């Protein structure tokens, strides 16, 4: 079973990487870039799991313990197949 | 207009960050993690663009010039609204 985890900074948290991307794009001549925000996507291949809800629960647990810094980041779990 | 760019390593390129994530998850007791791959998502807020195709062309250009290292990374552009 495949799971996709989207991790991004919570709204209101300063995204310095995003700001750097926006500035670099403006510097390259791309006008009109008002904002850029950078997040992570983690694709997991899980063996021995066939139940979608069980997989979702386990991946949520992984996010809380390792994949996301829940103080400043939010995450979304997607079970692909 | 909002654009979402997904950037990930091409298949076959060693994903050391993904390997570290998979090993860490296994170390935390999550069995059955066969593979993990880590990618980036960049959300762009673009002003002065109303045409979806024009936006897609411009964001593709941004990917080629800055957002993706096309030697080892592939990207996908999504125009959200």
Domain boundaries, chain B: 2-79
> What ipTM did this prediction achieve?
0.89
Point out the residue among A24, A34, A47 whose CB comes nearest to the CB of B45. A34
CB contacts < 8 Å between A and B, how many? 98
How do residues A21-77 score in pLDDT, each as one tens digit?
Answer: 999 999 999 988 999 999 999 999 999 788 999 999 999 999 999 999 999 999 999
CATH topology of domain A2-79: Mth169; Chain: A , (3.30.1280)
Candidates B12, B16, A7; CA nearest to B24 is B16
In A41-80, the residues whose Cβ lies within 8 Å of chain B are: 41-49, 58, 61-62, 65-67
CA B55, B59, B65, B69: dihedral to nearest 10 degrees?
Answer: -160
DSSP B67: I
Q: Taking CB atoms and an 8 Å cutoff, what residues of chain B touch A6? A: 41
What is the distance between the alpha carbons of residues A65 and A60, in angstroms, rounded to a whole number? 9
Q: How confident is the model at residue B48 (pLDDT cuts 50, 70, 90)?
A: confident
Judged by phi (left if over 0) then psi (alpha if -120 to 50, else beta), residue A19 lies in alpha
- Do residues A35 and B45 make contact, with C-beta atoms less than 8 angstroms apart? yes
Report the pLDDT value the prediction gives residue B12, as an integer from 0 to 100: 93
With 0-12 CB in 10 A as exposed, 13-18 as middle and 19+ as buried, what is B74? middle
């Amino acid at each position: 079973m495949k799971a996709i985890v989207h991790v991004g900074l919570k709204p209101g948290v300063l995204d310095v990487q995003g700001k750097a991307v926006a500035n670099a794009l403006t510097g390259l001549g791309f006008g009109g870039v008002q904002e850029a925000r950078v997040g992570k996507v983690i694709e997991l291949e899980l063996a021995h799991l066939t139940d979608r809800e069980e997989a979702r629960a386990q991946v949520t647990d992984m996010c809380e313990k390792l994949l996301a810094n829940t103080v400043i980041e939010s995450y979304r779990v997607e079970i692909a197949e």
